[in-house]
Amino acid sequence: MTDQSFFRSQADLLPERSPPPATTGVLGWVRGNLFSSWLNSILTLIGLYLLWIIIPPALDWAFFSADIAGDDRFACTSEGACWAWLDQRYNQFLYGFYPADQRWRVNIALLLLIPALIPLLFDKVPGAKIGRWFSLAYPFVATILLVGGFGFESVPTNKFGGFMLNITVGLAGIILSLPIGIVLALGRRSNMPVVRILSVAFIEIFRGVPLITLLFTAAILLPIFMPPNVSFDLVVRVIVVVTAFSSAYMAEVIRGGLQAIPRGQYEAAQALGLGYWRMMALIILPQALKISIPGIVNTFIGLFKDTTLVIVIGLFDILNIGKSMVSNPDWLGLSAEAYVFVALFFFVVCFSMSRYSSLLEKRLDTENR
């Protein structure tokens, strides 16, 4: 008998018991994450209360009791938002005063941006190498499409406006500020004292003053600095100062990347007999730029948001179009609607850029381990 009880068969083992119900499933998750301590419970309750007083009224305002049709604000009779203006005005929000029969050019320029961006963002796409030649040509193609020439009817830049103006200034600033930023960052670390001092002065001055004062400079002072009979376009002047401003920030981001490259890399490149430019172009910069990608994208996002500042010198970007619409008698006081609409554009663009940058950050992070 004793023998038998000693050599128990496996079937006699106690069955596995399930964990206490309060620690698994929905209940367990709720207890662990929301009500693990009294402080946590209070936070949860406050959070739930805030959600309750914010979300339902907001949804109700934006969708359920909103008016969507009508010719002016008097057509909007319900309690909620009045989206009736969208029908009449959305073209103005997108294109500003760009001639209506030429707006297809803006659309094509925007569509062409997609094939120009893809080979730059994703290097595993087939044909990425050839695609990059198109990316290189894109700025010129887009300029011709927007401004005119080569058979296109010319459109003066004072007709630029709406979100298209934000994208134009933002994109031009992004394309130009990266190479200038690289040059400034290299200049700041140069052995030549004159180059170093000039780079430091440029970077510190442009980083130290608000963009708004630079825009006033572009609007008021740059014409004074030019020869008396020469005048150049206000949008171009804005692009110049926006570029200068963000290339100073870009330079600091890239300098951070350059500082992270160990000395051995420089010495190895020199040992191979590479000169300064080839050492930088082939060895140092590819590594430094890769580390600084998150910072570079953040600078891009900042630059793009800053394009709204052009309203202080009287350009009609999407924010100014919204601002002027809500002071129009037909749509007076629809400020919440207009600004939420404008905010949506920026949120979509900036949020996708920041998602892309954190995606890259994660990918590069695993590659380095």
Query: Using CB under 8 A as the criterion, which residues of the chain lie in contact with another protein when the complex forms?
Result: 32-34, 36, 40, 43-44, 47-48, 50-51, 191-195, 198, 204-205, 207-213, 216-217, 220-221, 223-228, 301, 305-306, 308-309, 311-312, 319, 323, 326, 333, 335-336, 339, 342-343, 346-347, 350-351, 354
Q: Residue 153, exposed/middle/buried by CB under 10 A (0-12, 13-18, 19+)?
A: exposed
Rg (CA), the chain: 29
Q: C-beta of 314: minimal distance to another protein in Å?
A: 12
Within 10 angstroms of residue 344's Cβ, the number of other Cβ atoms is 10
Q: Is 95 or 206 the residue whose CB approaches another protein more closely? A: 206
Q: Is 145 or 214 the residue whose CB approaches another protein more closely? A: 214
Both structure tokens of 319: 């924010």
Q: Is 22 or 205 the residue whose CB approaches another protein more closely? A: 205
Q: C-beta of 79: minimal distance to another protein in Å?
A: 16
Q: Is 288 or 311 the residue whose CB approaches another protein more closely? A: 311
Q: How many angstroms from the chain centroid is the CA of residue 47?
A: 29
Q: C-beta of 57: minimal distance to another protein in Å?
A: 15
Q: C-beta of 73: minimal distance to another protein in Å?
A: 14
Q: C-beta of 176: minimal distance to another protein in Å?
A: 19
Q: C-beta of 147: minimal distance to another protein in Å?
A: 26
Q: Is 209 or 281 the residue whose CB approaches another protein more closely? A: 209
Q: C-beta of 11: minimal distance to another protein in Å?
A: 42
Q: Is 47 or 179 the residue whose CB approaches another protein more closely? A: 47
Q: C-beta of 217: minimal distance to another protein in Å?
A: 6
Measured CA to CA, the distance from residue 88 to residue 90 in angstroms comes to: 6
Q: Is 141 or 350 the residue whose CB approaches another protein more closely? A: 350
Q: Is 32 or 149 the residue whose CB approaches another protein more closely? A: 32
Q: C-beta of 214: minimal distance to another protein in Å?
A: 9
Do the beta carbons of residue 260 and residue 185 sit within 8 Å? Answer: no
